[in-house]
Amino acid sequence: MAVFNHGSFDEHEQVVFCHDKESGLKAIVAIHNTNLGPAVGGCRMWNYPSDDEALTDVLRLSRGMTYKNALAGLTMGGGKSVIIADPKRQDREALFRAFGRFINSLGGRYYSAEDVGTTTADIMIAHQETPFMAGLEGKSGDPSPFTALGTYLGIKAAVKHKLGLDTLEGIKVAVQGVGHVGYYLCKHLHEEGAKLIVT
């Protein structure tokens, strides 16, 4: 598996491969850029077909977080983490405790949070091992409704720009995946009268 000459490496500052035999944790943390502050980005848990696919995903996602945080005017850099495991796995306590310990070992260079395949409950478990977690229950919590709202408003802006319309009524919108974000996005679109194609 190539890292430095990987097609998505793009001058990442740090890539950490994490393994904990006892819990079965296999994870990759990618810190793309910390020029604006500590790297921030969620933790995705997915049953990747190969380690190389997991590496490609985490590199691309962390780079995207650098630009996303900068465009939002945040004093945060870009990072991301992936856990290579079945997101339907039930025994998550030991796994996320081990993950939290690895995040803690980075000394605040990277803050993790919920993402695809993980929940705020998972992040709360990891938080028992490290303060470097965001999206905590009782604080900012699940970001999915806000991500969906931003996506919905982006769709509205695109339709206004391209078609000159102020409404999505009758507009066909395809949504792939109806998880946390997709569900809320479909709710906004349906309430405005969009015609949904959902997979």
State yes or no: pLDDT of 39 exceeds 80: yes
- What pLDDT is attached to residue 1? 63
pTM: 0.82
pLDDT tens for 105-164 read: 999 999 999 998 999 999 999 999 999 999 877 676 677 888 899 999 999 999 999 999
- Average pLDDT along the chain: 93
State yes or no: pLDDT of 194 exceeds 80: yes
Domains along the sequence of the chain with CATH = 14-127 (3.40.50.10860), 144-198 (no CATH)
- What pLDDT is attached to residue 26? 98
* Given the residues 26, 68, 80, 187, the one annotated as active site: 80
CA angle centred on 57, ends 48 and 120, rounded to 5°: 80
pLDDT tens for 84-99 read: 999 999 999 999 999 9
pLDDT tens for 12-22 read: 999 999 999 99
Span 65-85, average pLDDT: 96
pLDDT tens for 133-150 read: 998 776 766 778 888 999
- What pLDDT is attached to residue 10? 80
pLDDT band at 179 (very low <50, low <70, confident <90, very high): confident
21 is an active site residue = no
Token pair, residue 182, equals 């997709």
